[in-house]
Amino acid sequence: MPLYDSARVAAALPGYTLGDPLGVGASGLVIAGWHHGLQRDVAVKILHRAPDRPAAGFATEARLLAGLDHPHVVRVYDFVEKDDFSLLVMEKLSGGTLRSRQPTLTPPAACAVGLATSAALAYAHTRGVLHRDIKPDNILFDSAGLPKVADFGIARAVNDSGPATSTVIGTPLYMAPEQLAGGRLRPATDVYALGVVLYEMLTGVHPADQGQLAGDESGPPAPPDVPHRLAVVLAGALARDPLERTGSAHAFAFDLARAAALEFGSDWLSRSGMSIQVDHELLVTAALVPPGALTSSVGAGSGGGPP
């Protein structure tokens, strides 16, 4: 039995040729596509609505996501509604996932991806959007190696996330304690998930493998073989109490950039082998580049909004 009705989806997107499935995310199936008018590859996410979920809710979220314009966020091109399903048309990324790159990732490269992801989250948070499902499979790379945060399909407006959420959605191994408990979500919830991802990228193991589960009473474990300053950054992101956790993705980005510069040298970003675009002011403040220098001199692009 097919995972989706290909004929119905094709009828809803007459200007596209649809291809093979690319994967299944937390919010729906993703298939390849080709836009005839623009002559470009796309990815189409098929979102099946629950009977009690009005179509207007999907349209509101789609407009919210389409308004996100950041170099480290996957772009949304189109949105189509049909009966019991909706379609999000997004840019297609061909560089694989962070999960697939993990075996060859160096510590500076892992920190660079963490910096890019925190910049993307900070940008989304300032526009009132929480991701709620940050994990290695949702950080993808384009053909040039630029990392991008994908699968905002279960994202939620910050103001709609408290005082409590009615449904626990996400990937349990990367969910903060308050998210697992169905409590109030905030930017620190995404910071926790990013902390888990970075812990995994730097150590090769998940915090749960070291005895740290979100439901445990113990504090974050000391990550094995991680430089001290980076371990402190991870501890701040993995605090169980969101009020004691690094409270914003912007603060996490600064802490991470500063720690990496102190551990690996001020030119760590240019030597990481990663192409990222983060705010120049952040790099200057974190002492990664001297005032007045071009951001590109450390291997990062300029622009892309605040981190």
Q: Are 88 and 153 in contact (CB under 8 A)?
A: yes
Torsion of CA 249, 252, 258, 261, to 10 degrees: -90
Burial string for 133-148 (b: 16+ CB within 10 Å, else e) reads bbbbbbbbbbeeebbb
Angle at 75 between CA 99 and CA 296, to 5 degrees: 75
Q: How far apart are CA 259 and CA 261, in angstroms?
A: 5
Active site members: 133
Tens-digit pLDDT string for the chain (307 aa)? 346 788 999 999 999 999 999 887 666 789 999 999 999 999 998 887 665 555 555 676 677 778 899 999 999 898 888 877 888 899 999 999 999 999 999 999 999 999 999 999 999 999 888 999 999 999 999 999 999 998 875 555 444 444 344 455 678 999 999 999 999 999 999 999 999 999 999 999 988 876 555 445 555 556 778 999 999 999 999 999 999 999 999 999 999 999 999 999 988 988 999 989 988 777 776 655 554 443 333 333 333 433 3
Residues 6+ apart with CB under 8 A from 149: 72, 73, 74, 117, 120, 121, 124, 131, 134, 138, 139
Beta bridge partners of 32: 43
Q: Other C-beta atoms within 10 Å of 104: how many?
A: 8
What beta strand segments (E) does the chain contain? 16-24, 29-35, 40-48, 76-82, 85-91, 129-130, 139-141, 147-149, 156-157, 276-277, 300-301
**pLDDT of the residue at 19:** 94
Is residue 204 classed as helix, strand or coil in its secondary structure? Answer: coil
Is residue 161 classed as helix, strand or coil in its secondary structure? Answer: coil
Q: Which amino acid is at 235?
A: A
**pLDDT of the residue at 72:** 96
